[in-house]
Amino acid sequence: MALAQAQGMRLPLVQARRVLVHVLSEGRDDLDLPGQPLSRATRAWLGSHLRHDRLAVEERVRDDGDGSVRYLLRSPDGALHEAVRIPLHKAGAFSVCLSSQVGCAMGCAFCATGRLGLRRHLEAWEMVAAWRLVRDEVVAQGLGRVTGAVFMGQGEPFHNYDAVIRAADQLGHPCGGRIGGRAITISTVGLVPQIRRYTAEGHRFRLIVSLTSARAERRAALLPVAGKWSLEELAQALRAHHEATRQRVTIAMVVLGGVNTGDDEVQALRALLGDLPVRINLVDVNAAEATPDGFRRATDAERRAFMDGLAGLGQPVVRRYSVGQEQQAACGMLAATRAPALVAEAPEV
């Protein structure tokens, strides 16, 4: 049973919390709460407000290189989407990378998911159910604990803002997924109005903004949606977020060999960010043979030179590893290889 519409419950708060603990924290598929049983009326009400649907696991792909496990999941309407179990540095600790949409409307030039177009948004219950499914397997297999969630799978989370925030709230709730707020990360390709809304609403989750280029023309070519807002508007939104949270904004740069690793990119970043405190995450693009338009990973020499240049900005720079590279299953690849089925079976929006 997947918990849905928790915030729409008209149950007394204590009852709602008991149900949330039972279903999400304890991973139970029934309403047989320990202690005082629920009344018949409450069970009936819950029966019409909780989704009893489950996600089916179509495929599990393990990457022996990094230990990640990619799940291809099927929703009751046939839509395929993914989640990835990611081992963290601490032994026995895992995070789950969650999709927010079936396909994606953003059309990033280097991304397999972008080729699919948007089929539909995922509902909050589907994201929570994906997390719970992975968490329950980790617990059942005695592997350890799931201590995080990252909304960085298929789709643009801020294009499905309300459902993503609702899912993150349930995962971070002490009666729900019990994940610490800073262990929940939401990534965006840079939708400026949603970044401003997110800041105004004061969420405690970690925000990552995919910049990938600080040069306007190059960024618009790589991330077509970037053409909607200028880089200056994006930088202003990030500055406002920093001023509201007093935290460094994390900037992600998808590193594309021969494209965005030169000194021109470093200088553009310097001009754009000024004294805004950021953390720069460098993420390798997927293997060349798996990307549209033939983008390739940077060579070691290119990456080293780029990192040396970025060091001059005086901001922390971290190289992040994209999980699932060995199986060519990183970022949307598993669903992308099943794209014909996905397109045929998912309903139009």
- Can 175 be counted among the known catalytic residues? no
**C-beta atoms surrounding 76 within 10 Å:** 12
Q: Which of 104/310 has CB closer to ligand SF4?
A: 104
97, 108, 175, 331: the catalytic one is 331
In the complex, least distance from residue 118 CB atom to ligand SF4, rounded to whole angstroms = 9
Nearer to ligand SF4, 210 or 261 (CB): 210
Q: How many CB atoms lie within 10 A of CB 263?
A: 12
Residues that bind ligand SF4 (CB under 6 A): 104, 106-108, 111, 113-114, 154-156, 189, 332
> In angstroms, rounded to a whole number, what is the distance separating the alpha carbons of residues 215 and 267?
9
What whole-number distance in Å separates Cα of residue 210 and Cα of residue 278? 12
Q: Six-digit token pair at 332?
A: 């949307």
Q: Rounded to the nearest whole angstrom, what is the least distance from the CB of residue 23 to ligand SF4 in the complex?
A: 29
Of the two residues 102 and 298, which places its CB atom closer to ligand SF4 in the complex?
102
Cα distances (angstroms) measured from residue 168 to each of 5, 69, 129, 286, 292: 13, 21, 12, 27, 31
User: Do 110 and 291 form a contact (C-beta atoms < 8 A)?
Assistant: yes
Q: State the catalytic residue, choosing from 82, 123, 126, 156.
A: 82
Q: Cβ 19 to ligand SF4, closest distance in Å?
A: 33
Q: Shortest Cβ distance from residue 157 to ligand SF4 (Å)?
A: 9
Between 147 and 154, CB nearer to ligand SF4: 154
The token pair at 106 is 């953003």
Residue 108 or 128: the one with the smaller Cβ distance to ligand SF4 is 108
Judged on CB neighbours under 10 Å (0-12, 13-18, 19+), 276 is middle
Is residue 82 annotated as a catalytic residue, yes or no?
A: yes
Dig out the tokens for 219 from the structure: 């960024």
**Cβ 201 to ligand SF4, closest distance in Å?**
21
Residue whose entry in the numeric block shows the structure tokens 């299953």: 329
Positions marked active-site? 82, 331
